Amino acid sequence: MTDTVQHELDGANGAFKVVVLGDRSDQPNPACAMVYGDPVDGCPVRVHSRCLYGEIFEATTCDCLFQLRMSQKVIRDHGSGVLIYLDQEGRGEGLLAKAEGYRLCQKTGIDTFDAYAELGYKADSRSYADAVALLKHLGLKEISLLTNNPAKWEALALAGIKVRQQPLIMPEPGDLARAYLAAKELQGHMFSLTSRRRRRMDITRKVVVSSLTRFTGRSKARAGQ
């Protein structure tokens, strides 16, 4: 049996149960779950990684805050579900790596994934083992995963969870967020967009690829000097 600490909590949109993973002493902020209603197999589940810039600073360069709020709404509308929160800032590399990546992006025009590669970080080093532990503790063997990231549901599926991916429908993104979403698409993420938004994303993706090509050319030129 997985060791957890549980309690009730009143939120702005109703009461729910908090379940904190208690057997990860090496982590100052262990994984936790917001359990709404009485979730059963097939219920909506969001596995969300911490994003200081998006959730607290409300940065317009990412979609993390939107995904968090939309997932909470889907869960409430369904009547039950689970939101798992992982302290994995910067796609698992930490806040400092994230800040370094942003700085390089602003200097060169490349996206955060390629900035991480230039800095020697993995594009995504997150682990979903704690999410699996929480799901199994809650007795959930089958879920409707609220995500646009195929790698996330693949990780849960490999751990024995039966997963149905439920993409989050994106709103009209701003220019900065559109560039980030275009970079995500290059990494395999899938988005539900209108044809108008899709055309704008296609244009932005071409700009992202063009910026990367120019940066790669400059890097090779410097290496040859």
Residue 69's domain is classified under what CATH number? Answer: 3.40.50.10990
Catalytic residue numbers? 124, 126
How do residues 90-141 score in pLDDT, each as one tens digit?
999 999 999 999 999 999 999 999 999 999 999 999 999 999 999 999 999 9
Residue found by looking up tokens 């997963």 in the block: 163
189 domain-assigned: no
Residue 217 lies in a domain: no
Q: Round to the nearest angstrom and report the end-to-end CA distance of the chain.
A: 59
Residue 224: pLDDT above 70? no
What is the mean predicted confidence (pLDDT) over 211-224? 47
Tally of domains in the chain: 1
Answer yes or no: is 191 within a domain: no
Q: What pLDDT digit, counting tens, does each position of 24-36 carry?
A: 556 778 999 999 9
**Structural domain range at position 46:** 1-88+126-168
In percent, how much of the chain has pLDDT > 90? 63
Q: In sequence order, which residues have a C-beta less than 8 Å from that of residue 26 and are 6 or more positions away?
A: none
pLDDT, mean over the chain: 83
131-171: per-residue pLDDT in tens?
A: 999 999 999 999 999 999 888 989 999 999 999 999 987 76
Average pLDDT over residues 14-42: 90
User: Model pTM greater than 0.85?
Assistant: no
Residue 16 domain flag? yes
Whether residue 52 lies inside any domain: the answer is yes
- Provide the pLDDT for residue 196: 42
Range 184-210 average pLDDT:
48
Residue 210: band (very low, low, confident or very high) from pLDDT cuts 50, 70, 90: very low
Q: Which pLDDT belongs to residue 63? A: 86
206: in domain: no
Beta bridge partners of 36: 81
Is 109 part of a structural domain of the chain? no
Under the banding of pLDDT at 50, 70 and 90, the label for residue 216 is very low
Q: Name which of 168, 164, 158, 159 is nearest 144 in CA terms.
A: 164
The reported pLDDT for the residue numbered 213 is 47
Task: Report the run of H or E that residue 102 belongs to, with start and end.
Answer: helix 95-108
Three-state DSSP at 199 gives: helix
What was the pLDDT predicted at 225?
44
Decide if 50 is inside a domain. yes
What Cα–Cα distance (Å) separates residue 69 from each residue in 31, 116, 190?
19, 27, 19
